[in-house]
Amino acid sequence: MRSPAAGRTRPRRRRAGSVVARSARRSRMRRVTRVGEVRRAIARWRAAGERIAFVPTMGAIHAGHLSLVGRARATADRVVASIFVNPLQFGAGEDYERYPRPVRADRSAFAAAGVDLLWEPSASAIYPAGDATRVRVERLTAGLEGAARPGHFEGVTTVVMRLLNAVQPDVLWLGQKDAQQARVIEQMVSDLQLPVRVRRGATVREADGLALSSRNRYLKDGEREQAAALSRGLRDARARLEAGERSARRLAAVVRRAWRGRPAVREEYVAIVDAATLEPVRTVQRRVLVAVAARVGSARLIDNFEWEPR
């Protein structure tokens, strides 16, 4: 990516109502596969003084992804999205081959949401022959998903760095549901002094609280109802925090209590960690991340919330 010293083209001053005007004249979504095509489109927008927002995804688009597109449109003149099921972040025995890929539905959803450019790179475009470079963030990747899925975050940071290098956005939008991933990418961007602002969008949920996820498609009918226990346990833990509970051990017990009697829910972890360092805490004294992971049938689901004492 460009160095911070290189600067950016200053966006043109916007008049009142310019968001409405841009929406009215928004062009049809363009789909590209090559890095060069992405860079040429970005260069044209930059020359016009436009700000760029980027929403990277692995497809199987749902309302959570589209909420990020909406936030991106509110913070930039142009929105770039990508769909790339990244093989590097899947471990042995994980669901890379069966990961949902409803390509036509995804394209339609992004077009309707107002994406300007959809990048659908091939694996060889991201990892060309002879590829030998990886990006690793230490410490923040040791626990939670990093412990449960060895090598996962090296795959995430490597692919995000390559996507950012091509798009070079002003703003990168990520979802709070993948809180550890967002925190790791924030650290990578800071450490490597990348000129992009990382922002998070709130987790989008079903009516019963289940966090939207591409892997919810794996749930069978009976499992779907039991999966809602993940968010129910988190809701109960938040209520206990609001009531004054500060023991991480007792908070974890509150989450697990909500899972009892639901045999399809098989715990991988229930963790209360510092929201910045992701280190486990025994007592809640500052902002924390309460995070859970469980298998429900064949689906591996995660959920979380952040909370800070007032």
- Active site members: 65
Q: How is residue 143 written in tokens?
A: 């626990």
Pairing, β 78-83 against β 299-307: unpaired
- Residues 6 or more apart from 248 whose CB is under 8 A from it? 272, 280, 281, 282, 283, 284
User: Could you tell me the CA-to-CA distances from 120 to 38, 146, 171, 176, 238 in Å, in that order?
Assistant: 10, 27, 19, 23, 39
Among residues 135, 114, 97, the alpha carbon closest in space to that of 26 is found at: 114
Q: How is residue 11 written in tokens?
A: 């966006």
Among residues 300, 231, 222, 237, the alpha carbon closest in space to that of 267 is found at: 300
**In whole angstroms, what is the distance from residue 135 CA to residue 161 CA?**
8
Q: How is residue 178 written in tokens?
A: 């993948």
**At CB < 8 A and 24+ separation, what contacts does 244-247 make?**
245/284, 246/283, 246/284, 246/285, 246/309, 247/282, 247/283, 247/284
**In whole angstroms, what is the distance from residue 82 CA to residue 65 CA?**
11
How many Cα atoms occupy the beta-carbon half-sphere of 100 within 13 Å? 17
Among residues 95, 19, 106, 20, the alpha carbon closest in space to that of 63 is found at: 106
- Residues 6 or more apart from 262 whose CB is under 8 A from it? 226, 229
